[in-house]
Structure formats: structure tokens, C-alpha cells
Structure 1
Amino acid sequence: MTAPSAAPARYRDVFAVPEFRTLFSLQTLQVAGDSVRTIALSVQTFERTGSPVTAALVFAAGMLPYAVGGALLLSLADRVPPRRLLTGYHLLRLAVTAVLAVGGLPVPAIMALLVAAGLFAPVGGATVQARLPALLPGDGYVLGRSLFTMTSAGAQITGQAAGGLLLSTLTPSGTLWLAAASAALATVLARFRLPDVPAVSRAPSAGMARDTWRTNRRLLGGRTTRGPLLAGWLPISLSVGAEGIAVPYAGAHGSADAAGLMLSAAAAGMFAGNFAAGRLVRPHLRERLTLPLAMLTGAPLLLFAFGPGPAAACALMAAGTFGLGYELAVQRRLVDAVPEEIRGQAIGLYGSGLMTGQAAGIAAAGALGELLPPGRVMVLCGGAALASCLCLARHLR
């Protein structure tokens, strides 16, 4: 494994790289545009059908195929040149959003379009992330990755807020056209601002799905890659169930409206943890703090056994998500452990597994919430996350 440099990288060093600036802009445009599109479609669907369940399905339709795309299409991230792949991906987003903005489609057709775009989302994300180690050597990769995490969270929150504001002045169709405009801008940036670098893998293809499956098995079976993958997936997936049970917990302790504050505190904690681990902590210390930070994702949740009020609950949620900064060191280890020709797929597998695991963790917490008080479910989430950290301690040290 490559030894980390002695001093943390600086933001000016990262943003001095032109291609990184373009990739950063693409990521921000995608997250914000998709957030605006999602909230506009949900409102439009609810207005048409009056069904909360249908609106929720439309809201989640873009995320549902993520695991399928990760299982079948990820080899494209290493086999197609980045400029061509990202241009095509954002062009697909533009076409889907423009068709949705025209309107008049039945709900099944809307969901089919969202699923089609969502299938390629892990490939686009993996392509972007795979370029970072080549652009940002040493500790610059960690800082660049932390910037993506923080900005994605901020762009998602801003995009949803902007979507709500736009819907108060425009129709859902008009809001969707603005989302389409952001996809058009991303397409132009990808085509004309990214360099035409070749694909990293030149191995003969045995078929897209077969290549993806074969490399996924290699990554999950390798001793140097399986540990970082599990270490990145399990503590987060098990602890995130607490966020899925925030609404019933807040309702049981005063007002369900406090759930928004709890979730905002969790987002703020994640932002602060990534900033601290990526920018303020020296690389060698970050490596030493990986296990304690990972355990922090679960430890504060144990205190929900005492039924804390809204203010204390917000503090505990923020403390737990601050620990998510541990993920930066784990991602760095994974990148160092894989050869360049499958780096894109490795990063894509990490992201697909993380999203799938979080969905499963939230669903499991919701199911437990039907049987147990919400505070007890949050304690179980914290205990499960701590147990996974102890089982994976060798990979987190």
C-alpha cells in the first residue's frame, strides 16, 4: 500500500487541477439537478393521482435500479473512455428529463424512464471517482473524495430546497425543464471540458455483464479488497437505520416535526466529519483514527436507550455521523489495493454496495419499528454497527 504523505493536501492544490474542477462541476450539477427533478416529479405525480404510495415510488425509482446497474454494467467504467461515457450519461439524463418535462406520460412510463437513467448512475459515478487517484496523487485523493462527499450532501439539500422554492413559483413541468437545463450544461461540460484520455482497461471483453460479474467476484474474493469493502459497507449500513426511524422517534418524544432537525443534524455531522478527516487531520493520524471513528458511528446511538429529548437527540445523531469520516481512509486503502485497470469498477462496487446496504438497513429498522419502540431500534442499530466494527477491526486499524 502506498504510504500517505506527511501533510494533508490543501483545497487550492485540488482545485488547481482543471480536470478535477470539471468533474466537481459535473457531480454538483448531477446531484442538484436530479434532486430538483425528483421532488418535481413526486409533486406532479401526487397532484395527478392523489396517492402517497405512488408519489413515494416515483421518488425512489431512480435509486431502485442502482444495485442492478452495479451488478451488470460497472465494467463500462474501465472499458469506455471517460469523456465519451460521461457525455453519453449526461445526454441520457437530459433526454429522460426533457421527456418527463413534456408530460402526459402514465406513471409506469415515468418510472421506466427513471429506472433507465438510474441503471447507469453507478457507472457514471464510478467513472468520475476512478479519475481522482490519477489526478490527485497522495493525500490529494482523500481531500478530493471528501469534497465530493460534502458537496454531494450540500447539493442534494440545496437541490431539494430549490425544487420546493421553484414549485411555489413554477409548475412542475417548468421546474423539470430547469432540471433538464442543468443536464444539458453537464453534457456540454463533459464533451468539451474533459480531456480525451483512453480507457484504462484494454483487456478483451467477454461481455459487459460477464466482465462485471467476474471482476466483482475477484474483488469480493480477494484478501486485500474484501476487507476494505466490508469495512466501508457494514458500519454505515447498520448505523443508518437510525435515520430511517427518526420520524417515529421524534413523534414518540414530543413532535414528529423534530425529525427534520435530527436529520439535518445528521447531515451536518457527516459534513463536519468529512471536513475534519479530509482537511484537518494529518494522513498518519487519520489512519490511526479509522477504527475509533468507525465505532463512533454506532456508540452515540446506544444513548437513545435513555430516551433523550430533541436537542440531545440531534447532538447524538451529529456525533454518530461525524464518525463517517473514517470512510475516507478505507476508500484510500481500497484504491491502493486494486490495479488501475479495474479501479473504476472497484469504486463503483463500493458505492453500489453502500447504497444497497443503506437501503437494507433503513428497511430493516423500519420493520423492527413495527415490533419495538423506536428508541430501542436505534440502540440496536448502534449495537450492530459497533459489533461490525469489532469484527472488522483488523481492516479498520
Structure 2
Amino acid sequence: MSSADVGRTGERQRAGLREVLAVREFRGLVAAQVASEAGDQIARVALALLVLSDTGSALLAAATFAVSFVPTFLGGALLGSLADRFSRKSLMLLADVARAITIGVLALMAGTSAPLWVLFALLFVAELFTPLFESARAASIPDVLGSPRLVTAGTGLTRSLHLANQAIGLVLGGIVVQLSSPQAALFVDAISFIVSYALLAAFLRNRPAMLDATESVRQLFTDLADGWRMLMADRSRRALILLGWGMAASLVAPEAVALAYVRDAGELDAWGGVLMASVITGAALGSILVGRRTPRDQLDLVLPLAITVCLPLLLTGIEPPIVLLVVLWFVSGVAQAFLVPVMSFTTLLTKNEHRGRVVGIASAGFAAVTALGYLVTGFIADRTSPAFAVTVMAAIGLLVVSIGFVRWPSTRLRSDVRELELAGH
């Protein structure tokens, strides 16, 4: 079959949700993801409310969310290579056990007069296993689904579910705490990891590690350096990842100042939640829609969608009516689907034996810039206004995409994606 024939076949065949969910192993991965991520959000809300009740400090309450970024940055970069050197299923099971135990201890400590630093330390330890789990899970998706078109569709679905879990988990966390206590919500999180463990144990095949195991910490740093060189040496993956990192701060700008924007506008605080939900809901919908398209179509959408993220946010500066702002931020959220091909192609274009470390580094960089985005947006908002802060971050995003257009390796990326399609057939 010629590449032209493959291209025409690929155009006719778009992977749908039914097709990827027909894969039993993938259903197990998805179910485990839903269980553990929803539990994570419930726990973060519960701990934040607990800290707020004990101290009355909004800063310390916000710190409970910020704590989760540090392990993602450190753990994702350093521990991602373990997904290449050990069984990925075993690593996910280990991460679930470790998180269940640590969060269980945290729940017990939350019912005592334990100092805050102890609670934060336990949360930090629990979160340290999350990037290990995520690196192993992301590296497993091509193993489970095989075909590039199924991988891109599956990545879109997992991205959409991740965003939905954020919204649902945050709401459920508040409800559980309201009806019972923060301690009960933390126990719910611990149980969610046990559920995730059971699902993975039942559904996922145990595949051997791609590389030899290591007990040396020095080897982890060597793998980190090697992964960085692999990522930066390849023009296609470098372009994709640098675009994702460069846009990360702009993506979180609306969520960072939504509550402050509503306060400044004299609206009810409930509108702040609606604004944040509009971005997340849009991103979840966009991820599904883009994930169903062919790999080549997804590649063509990356830069246009990245631009579309920023354009509605620029209009925030004129401080439109709150209902119109909800629509604008929803549209911006839908366009965040450019991250689906960024994530899936970065994984697919990496050799199987190196996927763990490369995915880990990519996740770590995105987490670091995301955390920076929250801080910078808040800093600008404090000194000007929330609306102006979002506008500035949108302008920065447009600058990043403009550089991306100039430096975008279109020919190389198209060639790489064509090879993926040929391999998939």
C-alpha cells in the first residue's frame, strides 16, 4: 500500500470512543484513572478546607493545591524513567498502594492536632507517586491500543476525563466535607486508590520492562539527562513540547483569577465557579472532538487551536458581561484540545524503551510552567486587575504561538506522522 493510499484510508477511518473503549485493557486504564483522579481532587479540597478552618489563612489553604505541583515537577522528571526499567503495570500498582497508605495516614492525622507541616509532608509524599503513575500509564497507552489513530483517540479521551475529574472532584470534595468532615473525604481518596489498584490488577496485562532494572539513584539522573537530550535533539518532539510548555501559563490564567474577577465585577461568588467550570468543560469537550480526528488532521489543528486559545482571552480586557465571558472562556477551553496531539505525538514518536523518561520530563516541564502561570497571573492581578492579568497572559500566549509558527518543522512533522500511519497499518 502506498503512502497516498494510506493517507486516503486514514482520512476515511476516524477512531471513535466506542472503538477505543472496545479494548478491554484500555477500559481498565480509564476506570482506574477516573477512580484515582476524582479521589485526588476530593482530598485536595478537603485538606484545603481543613487548613482554612484551622488557620483562617487563604494563603495556607491555597498552598495545599500548590504543594501538588512540586512533586509533579520533581517526580515526573526524575522518576519517569522507572517506567522504562520496570514493569509499567507493577509501577502503577505500587503507586496506588503507596498513595492509599499515605492518604490513609493523612486522614488519621487530620483528626488529631498534628501540625500543618506534617499534613503537608504527607500530602507531598502521596503526590510524589502521582507522576510515577501517570508516566507509566501514558507510556502504556500505545502498548494497549497499538494503532496511532487509536492512541490519539485514547489520549483525547483520557485528557477529557482528567479535566472532567477536576471539575467533578472539586464539587464532590465540597459536598463530602459539607455532609461529613474533611477526614471522611480523605478516607474516600484512600479508598479510590484501592479501587484503582483492583481495576488495574484485573484488566491490565503484565508486560516486561523495556530496559534492565536499576537500583542506582545515579542511573535515574543519567536517564534524566539522556531523556532531555532525546527530547531536545528531535525537532518534531522539541517543537511539540516547547509549544505545550510555552502555552501552559496562558492556559491557567482564567482559572487563576476567576474568583478575583467576579469579586471585582461585583458579582456573586458562585459565578467564579461557573467561570472556572466553563474553561474545564470546554477543554474536556474539545479533547474528545479533536481526539476522534485522524492523526494528520490533528497535526494540522495544533497551531490554529493554540491561537484560538488566546483570542477569546484577549477580550477579557474589555470586561464584558459575565455571561459573555463564560462563553468566551468556554471557547478558549475547547481550543486547549491542541494539547491532545502534542501529548499523543510526543509519546508515539518516542521509542517504547524511552517513553517513560520522555513523558516524565514533558509532564514535569508542563507542571512547572503551570505553577509559574498561577503565580505570575496572580501577581499581575494584584497590581492591576484580574481582567488585565488574563489579557497579558493571552498576549504572551500569542507571542509563543507566533514563535512556533516561525520555527514549526511542518515537513518533518508531516513525515513523522505519515510514518506513524504507515506503521499503524
TM-score using structure 2 length: 0.87
Large movers: runs of 4+ above 4 Å: 1-4, 203-206
Q: How does 1:161-310 map to 2 (within 5 A)?
A: 161-202=171-212, 207-255=219-267, 257=269, 258-279=271-292, 281-310=293-322
Amino acid across the alignment from 2:150: G
* Change in 2 beyond 3 A, CA 1:21/1:239: closer
Structure 1 unaligned regions, length at least 5: none
* Change in 2 beyond 3 A, CA 1:213/1:254: same
Name the CA distance, whole Å, in 2 between partners of 1:54 and 1:305.
Answer: 30
CA RMSD of aligned residues (A): 2.3
* Change in 2 beyond 3 A, CA 1:123/1:297: same
2:10 counterpart of 1:5: yes
Amino acid across the alignment from 2:45: I
2:361 counterpart of 1:355: no
CA contact (8 A) 1:236 1:324 kept: no
**What are the superposed Cα offsets for residues 129-187 of structure 1, whole Å, 9 maximum, x if unpaired?**
11111222121111111111111121222222222222222232222222222112222
Shift of 1:387: 1.2
Give the structure 1 partner of residue 150 of structure 2: 140
Give the structure 1 partner of residue 418 of structure 2: none
* Change in 2 beyond 3 A, CA 1:62/1:306: closer
Number of corresponding residues: 396
Aligned identity (percent) is 27
Q: How does 1:1-397 map to 2 (within 5 A)?
A: 5-6=10-11, 7-103=13-109, 104=112, 105-136=114-145, 137-202=147-212, 207-255=219-267, 257=269, 258-279=271-292, 281-393=293-405, 394-395=407-408
Q: Relative to total residues, which structure has the larger helix share, 1 or 2?
A: 2
3-state DSSP of counterpart to 1:392: helix
Q: Which moved more, 1:83-92 or 1:339-348?
A: 339-348
**What are the superposed Cα offsets for residues 66-103 of structure 1, whole Å, 9 maximum, x if unpaired?**
11112322211211101211111000111011111222
CA contact (8 A) 2:106 2:123 kept: no
CA contact (8 A) 1:240 1:358 kept: yes
Name the CA distance, whole Å, in 1 between partners of 2:287 and 2:409.
Answer: 17
Structure 2 unaligned regions, length at least 5: 411-425
Amino acid across the alignment from 2:130: A
Q: Which moved more, 1:250-259 or 1:386-395?
A: 250-259
Name the CA distance, whole Å, in 1 between partners of 2:202 and 2:251.
Answer: 41
TM-score using structure 1 length: 0.92
Name the CA distance, whole Å, in 2 between partners of 1:336 and 1:177.
Answer: 37
3-state DSSP of counterpart to 1:64: helix
CA contact (8 A) 1:240 1:381 kept: no
* Change in 2 beyond 3 A, CA 1:39/1:373: closer
3-state DSSP of counterpart to 1:65: helix
Amino acid across the alignment from 2:62: A
Amino acid across the alignment from 1:271: A
CA contact (8 A) 2:99 2:127 kept: no
CA contact (8 A) 2:79 2:357 kept: no
Q: Which moved more, 1:379-388 or 1:282-291?
A: 282-291
Q: Which moved more, 1:55-64 or 1:286-295?
A: 55-64
Name the CA distance, whole Å, in 2 between partners of 1:367 and 1:356.
Answer: 17
Name the CA distance, whole Å, in 1 between partners of 2:336 and 2:196.
Answer: 29
Shift of 1:395: 3.0
CA contact (8 A) 1:38 1:59 kept: yes
CA contact (8 A) 2:32 2:199 kept: yes
Name the CA distance, whole Å, in 1 between partners of 2:201 and 2:396.
Answer: 45
**What are the superposed Cα offsets for residues 251-302 of structure 1, whole Å, 9 maximum, x if unpaired?**
22232522222111111211221122112x4443332222111100111122
